Structure 1
Amino acid sequence: MNFFERQRQVRRLSTRLVLLFVLAVVGIVVVVNLAAVFAFNATSADPGQLAGFVVMVTIATVAAIGLAALVRTLALRGGGGKVARELGGVPVPTDTTDPELRRLRNVVEEMALASGVPVPEVYILPEETAINAFAAGWSTSDAAVAVTRGALQRLNRDELQGVIAHEFSHVVNGDMRLNIRLMGLLFGILFLTVIGRGLARAGVIGGGRSRDNSSSAAPLALVGLALLVAGYVGVLAGRLIQASVSRQREYLADASAVQYTRQTSGIAGALKKIGGLTDGSELKSPKRDEVGHMLFGEAARTSWFATHPPLTDRIRALEPSFDPAELRQLAQRWSAAPPSGRQEDVALGLAPAGPAAGQDRGAAPQLPVEGTRVRVAPTEVLGRVAAPTETAYTHAAAIIDRIPDPLLDRARRRDSAGPLLLGLLLSAEPPVRQQQYAALTERHGRELADAAVREAETLAGLHPMLRLPLAELAFPALRDRPDAEVESLLAAVFTLIHADGAINVSEYCLSRLLLAELEESLRPDSRWRPDRRTLTDSRSAAAHLLAILAQVGHAERSAAEQAFQAGVATLLPGTNLPYAPPENGVLALETAWPVLDGLRPADKERLVAATVAVISHDGMMTVPEIELLRTICGLLHCPLPPMAGGGTG
């Protein structure tokens, strides 16, 4: 199942989630109405009055559920970090020197670069001694990955990689948005138990104070009891919903983790430690049931409806020869001396931890030299979207290894990440850079403009494949700044894009991608957004993109037109579109991105294939062209792993 099919599956799951939620609400309304009718002796009323009473109770019940779900969803608009903090999560500093936390950040950074997505926020749950983790957020730009203290202490680096790779599968495939939406809906259902408990308590207290009040308090207590029952019916329905949308995805995420790391021992070892240790994966947080469907392992030991497949089944899917008796043996061994992840790292040769777990950094693939041409086909690229392989993972480690340490240090610091980003976005052409400098000085001050130019000078000669990863590594430090500073940085990036209109396509796309990521992290979009645009509705925006790519890739108009028509034939077979590059060049894409990003998964798949067809019209792509393609895929929320060796991914 490729990325686009997973996107279609997530949308089907979203539809199922809504239907199950509606059914749960209907059941709750029926229970509440029956209780209210008997509590207020409405059975003797005439049919008209009874119907009006039922309608009133129905509206009140639905309004309470809907309002509670809406309020909870709005409260989660802070993104994945909001969820992590609610569970007691503490941010892991980007420049941490703590060995365990540095190991965690290294693994997350490598996985993000290998997946082609922004580096997420990283949290640790310091009070949780069990082994567990989760990823949360509305999009890849506001995502957060959180792990428990127990996971850091008990898992070796291979096992930690397996867990993080499992969570990244949820990040890149869009599961997070469904998970966080489910939190809001479940809260709406659960809210009735809070109301019911209050009404029941008020009825009991009121009836106990005075005999005169007992006749009025009894119905109140009965309604409260009915709401409690209805609320717990809702909780039961919620558990069913969680299980229905979660269990199969866990198998898929486990399989993706194996694909990412190309070894089963890591994630299988983590699952075995959950089964063999006393704490298992059980969380102490009172909110554990609310987030149970998004965790790596079961939040509680016992549950009527488990949100995850049985632990032994998950292990056996990874290791068919696994014997459950092994868990009992491990439990006996670890009861006296629990495992230490760091000690195991030393024994396995994984410590001191480097970017590539278990590998010699010197053996990592070399970056291709400037001018290297790679043979690539659209179908090959489509198969790589959101599907990093072991090669991509080791290549991501090589990328980090080849970024000079001073640049890495500045990218990870809050005070220097902003100027570094602007330096990356300054044009390499002196006339264009001068105009950008003048615009920055006029609108944001000479100090920032000078700092950006200094950074640009230190970045001169940086390999094209290192520019986008360096920007993504700086992303967490940029996102961690106060909102006002992020807004100012957004304005500065916008200034660079529009300084004179002469910015080239690669520089423009990188600027636009980072601008979009910062905007999404600052203002996560929690609305229901079914992607229903069609290529027929969006042909003008798509034609602009293909025409601009054809124009910049070919000096002669005839060759450019042939490349454009190759893209059109892939995008809209049998359609005749004229080759007409927009007069304002890349700035014509400013209005195109929202349209193209809203395409249905099947149509977006064809758009990516058409983009590849234009860029690689001769069947070959240069390194800058591949990086341009990766940037465009990022703008379309179709993460493409970095090129490794002789091909992508």
Structure 2
Amino acid sequence: MDFFDLQDAARRRTNILVVYYVLAVFAIAISVYLVLVAIFNRQSFGFYWDLRLFITVVLSTLAVVGVGTLIRGLQLKQGGQVVAEMLGGSLVDSSSKDISMKRLVNVVEEMALASGTPVPPVYILENEAGINAFAAGFSTGDAVIGVTRGCLDNLNREQLQGVIAHEFSHIINGDMRLNIRLMSVLAGILSIATIGYILLRTAAFSSHRYRRRESRGGREALLFIMLGIALIVVGYVGVFFAKVIKSAVSRQREYLADASAVQFTRNPQGLAGALKVIGGLTSGSKMVSEHAEEASHLFFASGVKSLFSNIMSTHPNLTNRIKVLDPHFNGQFDEVQSTVKMVEEGASSSLVSGDVKLATDSEIVVRSVGSPSSDHVHYASNILQNIPDDVIRAAHEPFSARSVIYCLLLDKNEVVRQRQLDYLKRHCDHGTYSETLNVAKTVELLATELRLPIVEIAISTLRQLSQDQYSAFREHINYMIEADSHINLFEYTLHHVVRRHLDYAFSDKNANVKSIRSLVTVRAECNVLLSALVQAGHSTESERPIVFQAGIENLFGDADSAQYVPEVSLAAVDEALDVLVAVLPKMKRSIVKACVACIVYDQYITVSEAELLRAVADSLGCPIPPIIATDSSL
């Protein structure tokens, strides 16, 4: 299965979850009806049927469970950040001098750059001594990575990389949205038991008032105590079946994430080593957070114990997971004695500078979507080690990350450049303007292929801005892009990256979009997108319609009804992408293939074209790993 098949599978699992949810609610409603009949109709013998009561119970149960689900859903609407904080996580300072934190941030950035996804914020769970981790969010735009203190204290870099690669597999494969919805569903079902607790406490208080005398109030209190206990039992029976559902949905995804992580790193011993350390550690992968149970399906390894582990565990047996990765494992775990030794990251080779051409093949690019390899990890590691320290430092701090973006947009033409700097001097605070001047000289000398990775690192940091700060920042970069009345490839790319990830972060989250099931209905949007890519990647006017036709043929099989759009604005591309992001995953494969065909029509792709292609694909929710130069391209 490729990326698009996995996305389709994730959609189907969501639909199955809805079916299970309805069945669970209906089963709970029947149970509540039987409880009410048993308590309040004790004079009758045999089965008692009251249609009006049954309908009332079903609607009431549906309302209670639905409201419980809705409330938890609204609480989780802000994405992964809410989940991380709920579990006791605190945001890791990317500029921290602590070696273990630096190593963690470096590994996460490496995995993000290698996979073609934005760098997610990283949270540390300081109170968790067990080895565990999670990825949470609705999409790559609001995803976060959470790591326990036990991970940092007991895993070496190779093992930590395996754990993080596993979590990135969940991000890429579309598991996160389903996982958060599962949390909402469980909360809704548990609300029946919560009402039972409320009734029990209320009735207990009332019975205390009437305990010395027989009275109607005392009998009513007793009935409410019985009802409360019954609802608690019914609620937890519902939770039991919900956990079985959660286990069925989650367990196979863990095997797939393990396999994807190994494909990612080409190092099964790293992931297997992490699992072996869990087996030998006293605290294992146990989570102590009070919310660990409801988030158990998010974790890297089983975070809570289950009475019926065979059917209710959200994770496969630890030994079985290890044996899949290491067939020679004997099942014995060595006791973990001490924490790992931290070392600074080493240096790497230099990169080729300039906007070089990369020999590539469109099918290779399409197959790489959502499928990063060890070559991409090595490339990302090389990229990170070649970014100057002062630029990395600036990109890791919210105050100076804005300056890094401004520097990347400074024009090479002195007149335009001065106009941009004058604008920043007038509209930015003195500190931001000074930092821009300080970093500008270093940024100007950067190799071309370092630009987009720096943007992706800075994007994660810029999420920490306030709404007002971001609004001003957005206004400033819009001015700098338009300062010369011409938009180059990198400016085009930066616009899409910022729009996809920062505009999303500072606007209403998790908006539900109705799926589009036919490419025919979005033909006009496809025309706009492909026309824009042709104009961005091919300078010859006479060549553009020919390249456009090649892209359309990849998409629709014929180009008879396609219309090349001679002049396409950024706003038009934005509108087209807003529509196309809602098409089904398998149709996105065709769109991405058509985009690639337009860009690589001449059999080569420049670094700038590769950046644009990856940004557009990312806007469609299809992360393309870095397009790496082959020997023939150098």
Matches within 5 A, 1:252-267: 252-267=256-271
Q: Find the aligned partners of 1:209 and 1:555 in 2 and give their Cα distance.
A: 87
Matches within 5 A, 1:199-238: 199-210=199-210, 211-212=214-215, 213-238=217-242
More displaced 10-residue stretch of structure 1: 295-304 or 563-572 = 295-304
Q: Find the aligned partners of 2:338 and 2:15 in 1 and give their Cα distance.
A: 43
Asked if the contact 1:298/1:307 (under 8 Å) is kept, the reply is yes
Aligned partner of 2:280 in structure 1 is 276
More displaced 10-residue stretch of structure 1: 398-407 or 586-595 = 586-595
Which amino acid is 1:604 matched to? K
Aligned partner of 1:516 in structure 2 is 500
* Offset of residue 485 of structure 1: 1.7
Aligned partner of 1:361 in structure 2 is 347
Which amino acid is 1:633 matched to? A
Selected match of 1:293 from 262, 283, 297: 297
Q: Does 1:607 align with 2:606?
A: no
More displaced 10-residue stretch of structure 1: 445-454 or 164-173 = 445-454
Q: Secondary structure at the match of 1:621?
A: strand
Which amino acid is 1:352 matched to? V
Q: 1:593 to 1:443 in 2, by over 3 A?
A: farther
Asked if the contact 1:414/1:477 (under 8 Å) is kept, the reply is yes
Q: Secondary structure at the match of 1:643?
A: coil
Matches within 5 A, 1:446-525: 455-456=439-440, 458-497=442-481, 502-523=486-507, 525=509
Which amino acid is 1:298 matched to? S
Q: Find the aligned partners of 1:37 and 1:131 in 2 and give their Cα distance.
A: 48
More displaced 10-residue stretch of structure 1: 111-120 or 497-506 = 497-506
Q: Find the aligned partners of 1:341 and 1:41 in 2 and give their Cα distance.
A: 66
Q: Secondary structure at the match of 1:381?
A: helix
Aligned partner of 1:341 in structure 2 is 340
| CA RMSD in angstroms, aligned pairs only | 2.7
Aligned partner of 2:196 in structure 1 is 196
Asked if the contact 2:130/2:286 (under 8 Å) is kept, the reply is yes
Q: Secondary structure at the match of 2:621?
A: coil
Asked if the contact 1:170/1:253 (under 8 Å) is kept, the reply is yes
* Offset of residue 222 of structure 1: 2.7
Aligned partner of 2:66 in structure 1 is 66
Aligned partner of 2:623 in structure 1 is 639
Q: Find the aligned partners of 2:296 and 2:514 in 1 and give their Cα distance.
A: 25
Aligned partner of 1:574 in structure 2 is 558
Aligned partner of 2:136 in structure 1 is 136
Aligned partner of 1:357 in structure 2 is none
Selected match of 1:244 from 231, 243, 248: 248
Asked if the contact 1:136/1:176 (under 8 Å) is kept, the reply is yes
Deviations 1:164-214 (A, max 9, x none): 110111112221111112111111111211110121232344235322113
* Offset of residue 495 of structure 1: 4.2
Q: Find the aligned partners of 2:538 and 2:81 in 1 and give their Cα distance.
A: 45
Q: Find the aligned partners of 1:432 and 1:539 in 2 and give their Cα distance.
A: 38
Aligned partner of 1:565 in structure 2 is 549
Deviations 1:371-406 (A, max 9, x none): 533332221111111211111111111111111111
Deviations 1:377-436 (A, max 9, x none): 221111111211111111111111111111111111121111221332344456665676
* Offset of residue 529 of structure 1: 4.0
Q: Find the aligned partners of 1:292 and 1:83 in 2 and give their Cα distance.
A: 12
Matches within 5 A, 1:323-472: 323-324=330-331, 326-327=332-333, 330-331=334-335, 334=336, 338-342=337-341, 352-354=343-345, 361-362=347-348, 364=349, 366-370=350-354, 372-428=356-412, 455-456=439-440, 458-472=442-456
Q: 1:223 to 1:104 in 2, by over 3 A?
A: same
Q: 1:645 to 1:505 in 2, by over 3 A?
A: closer
Aligned partner of 2:149 in structure 1 is 149
Q: 1:377 to 1:146 in 2, by over 3 A?
A: same
* Offset of residue 440 of structure 1: 6.1
Q: Find the aligned partners of 1:452 and 1:95 in 2 and give their Cα distance.
A: 18
Aligned partner of 1:591 in structure 2 is 575
Segments of structure 2 that go 5 or more residues without pairing to the other structure are: none
Q: 1:435 to 1:600 in 2, by over 3 A?
A: farther
Asked if the contact 1:135/1:167 (under 8 Å) is kept, the reply is yes
Asked if the contact 2:138/2:177 (under 8 Å) is kept, the reply is yes
Asked if the contact 1:123/1:144 (under 8 Å) is kept, the reply is yes
Q: 1:447 to 1:312 in 2, by over 3 A?
A: closer
Q: 1:521 to 1:226 in 2, by over 3 A?
A: same
Asked if the contact 1:440/1:495 (under 8 Å) is kept, the reply is no
Aligned partner of 1:9 in structure 2 is 9
Q: Does 1:321 align with 2:323?
A: no
Q: Find the aligned partners of 1:71 and 1:490 in 2 and give their Cα distance.
A: 33
Which amino acid is 2:119 matched to? V
Selected match of 1:307 from 314, 317, 322: 314
Q: 1:223 to 1:507 in 2, by over 3 A?
A: same
Asked if the contact 1:24/1:237 (under 8 Å) is kept, the reply is yes
